[in-house]
Amino acid sequence: MGDVAAARAASDELSALAQGHGDGALGAGAAGVRGAVRLAEGDAAGALVSLRQAAETWRRLEAPYEVARARELLGVACRALDDDDSAALELDAARTTYARLGAVPDLARVDLLADDARRESHGLTKREVEVLRLVAAGKTNKAIAARLVVSERTVDRHVSNILAKLRVSSRAAATASAYEHGLL
């Protein structure tokens, strides 16, 4: 509820109680809480370790809702680390489980998280945004390929994906769209 210091104290207490119970529900719960607190403290990398431990333990315990909750938080942590591909995979896995379980409020929350990510980048991957910025700077595919240390064919594929996702037909229109939507 916004009191991260109190959450940290409660998490530490729960972790102490769970000592020696890492492979059971108490250990999984403590790892999940530890991950959520680290995420709230801005330590997304630290959160990943605890949340992966929680997800794996819940999976072994055959607790699908808890696995989905851990994966949702993993998605948030991955996004905080600018790993959009992993974030999308984790959020999609959580969404699938929530849908299967009929967990409507959780499903709505994950859909909002996914929608926020798509709106921020207009569906472009991090690499596509990087390529779009270079296109907007007037760089040729050859120059972009040299700068990103990829093949021209890869850049051409990225440019084609950008045009399709932004629903435009030229590099100039993509640049205008990028300025209009604050992607540059």
pLDDT along the chain (184 residues), means of 10: 85 87 86 93 93 94 96 92 84 92 92 68 79 93 93 94 91 89 75
Which is nearest to 122 in space by CA: 152, 73, 77, 163? 163
Helices (DSSP H) in the chain: which residue ranges? Answer: 4-18, 25-40, 44-60, 64-80, 84-101, 104-121, 126-136, 141-148, 152-166, 171-180
- Report the C-alpha gap between 123 and 129 in whole angstroms: 10
pLDDT in the model for residue 144: 94
pLDDT in the model for residue 124: 82
Q: What domains are defined for the chain?
A: 4-121 (1.25.40.10), 126-180 (1.10.10.10)
DSSP state of 147: H
- Report the C-alpha gap between 78 and 62 in whole angstroms: 24
pLDDT in the model for residue 111: 84
DSSP state of 83: -
pLDDT in the model for residue 119: 54
Give, to the nearest 10 degrees, the angle between helix 64-80 and helix 25-40: 20
- Write down the residue that tokens 């072994």 correspond to: 60
pLDDT in the model for residue 90: 92
pLDDT in the model for residue 115: 66
Which tokens belong to 103? Answer: 């967990």
pLDDT in the model for residue 118: 56
pLDDT in the model for residue 171: 94
